[in-house]
Amino acid sequence: MGKTLYLECYSGISGDMTVAALLDLGADRSVLDRVLKSLKVSGFETKISRVVKSGIDACDFDVVLDKEHENHDHDMEYLHGHHHEGHERNHAHGTGTAQDHHHHEHRGIKEITYIIEHSAMTENAKKIALRIFEILAEAESKAHNVPVDQVHFHEVGAVDSIVDIVSVAVCLDNLDVTEVIVPVLWEGRGTVRCQHGILPIPVPAVANIVSANHLYLKMTEVEGELVTPTGAAIVAAVKTKDKLPETFEIQKIGIGAGKRQYECPGILRAMIISQSAEIDEAKAQTEEFKNPEIGNNPKAENQETKDTIIKMETNIDDCSGEVLGFVMERLMKAGARDVHYVPVFMKKNRPAWVLNVICKEEDIETLQNIIFEETTTIGIRYSIMERTILPRETRTLPTPWGEVQVKVCTLNGKEQLYPEYESVAQLSREKEIPFAEIYRYIVLANKDKE
């Protein structure tokens, strides 16, 4: 089971802060070093150290560039002419004379994709990194009214931005993070000066990312930019939830240091957490399921558990079945436990649908936003319901065509097997064997063992 990461962005977020926090959580430095050495990018080295920010010990991640690759990226361009140090980096830029200006590569999304695809990153890490860069490119495309594939700018092309984003992706993958909770991004106020003049905070790239990806922003009284484009893009790419569970256990804490000196501490706190229900369920499964074979398991007899769930319901007209199918897909990916809809006739004999969503309380806000965005409904009903849950676990079973995942539920000491649809469907596609044949084989094989 993957880990759940909570990012506490009270001092904003940037690329280097995120890398530092993940390293402090225990991401393997040797794995990161190996990937960075494989990048088809030169002119940098990384430095990892401990620093103290407002009396708090934190990890600091820095990308040290040679003179030919000094940081002129988008985040830093906003800071030219200001007295603030950069969240991302704070390199010297010379005297401003002609001889101080170097040639810098302005890489686009195609060049970035090539660099990532030809690195030693895992497929999952590559996917994360590419998504972050895509979000950045889309934001810059909108800001400058240029097609995404024609965007060539410092933010995507700068060496340290590449290193930061690749490092975040590698560390998330190495930590086996599958859920990321980010309730809100705390941002400063005022203006910053860039090569285009004075811009308001949040800067255009950050504002575009927040708007396009439905992130929550909280403006503070801190003077200056707390959320960088890289930091906003990271959150937009990896966030799966925006609300913490009511109760949870903190398993590990990582503190990442920023480079700017503000009234706030300038740190990003990252926590690996476990929800109380998940902990109890994991403990129950450890005790109840000792036998890896399909069959009887007397230890699991009468071990049903109860919990509370939320049922969301709404009537929808003027909505096609195709749209509802898309809504169902989004809701399930966003954390819904179950989704179904049925045809009904409403007043004046209008044909419509009743959409039902089963979820946990902490997912209500996220799921209701999806329903309002994707359907024509103007109201949603809620009810709190108790349910009884049979002991269950997921197992892997062999078949003549390969392994499949099955769900096993237990009642009165006897187990019932249910083949997992996605697992059977994937095997069916790969081996070109009818779905029904694989499904039937699994069910019959289970009956033979009873």
pLDDT higher than threshold 80 for residue 191: yes
Highest mean pLDDT range out of 17-31, 139-153, 219-233, 417-431? Answer: 17-31
- What rounded mean pLDDT belongs to the chain? 83
How far is it, in rounded angstroms, from Cα 347 to Cα 305? 40
Q: Which of 43-52, 290-299, 303-312, 380-389 has the lowest mean pLDDT?
A: 290-299
| Local confidence band at 95 (pLDDT 50, 70, 90 cut-offs) | very low
How far is it, in rounded angstroms, from Cα 389 to Cα 407? 13
pLDDT higher than threshold 50 for residue 240: yes
How far is it, in rounded angstroms, from Cα 185 to Cα 245? 18
pLDDT higher than threshold 50 for residue 146: yes
**Considering the chain, what percentage of its residues have pLDDT values greater than 70?**
82
The residue-averaged pLDDT of 180-198 equals 88
pLDDT higher than threshold 50 for residue 78: no
pLDDT higher than threshold 50 for residue 101: no
Query: Which of residues 267 and 295 earns the better pLDDT score?
Result: 267
191-198, Cβ contacts within 8 angstroms, sequence gap of 24 or more: 192/78, 192/79, 192/82, 192/224, 192/225, 193/78, 193/79, 193/80, 193/81, 193/82, 194/77, 194/78, 194/79, 194/80, 195/77, 195/80
How far is it, in rounded angstroms, from Cα 311 to Cα 227? 36
Binning the chain into helix, strand and coil, the percentages to the nearest 5 are 40, 30, 30
Pairing type for strands 191-194 and 197-200 reads antiparallel
Phi, psi angle pair for 196, to nearest 5° = -95, 0
The residue-averaged pLDDT of 379-385 equals 91
How far is it, in rounded angstroms, from Cα 117 to Cα 312? 42
The residue-averaged pLDDT of 207-226 equals 93
pLDDT at 449: 62
pLDDT at 94: 36
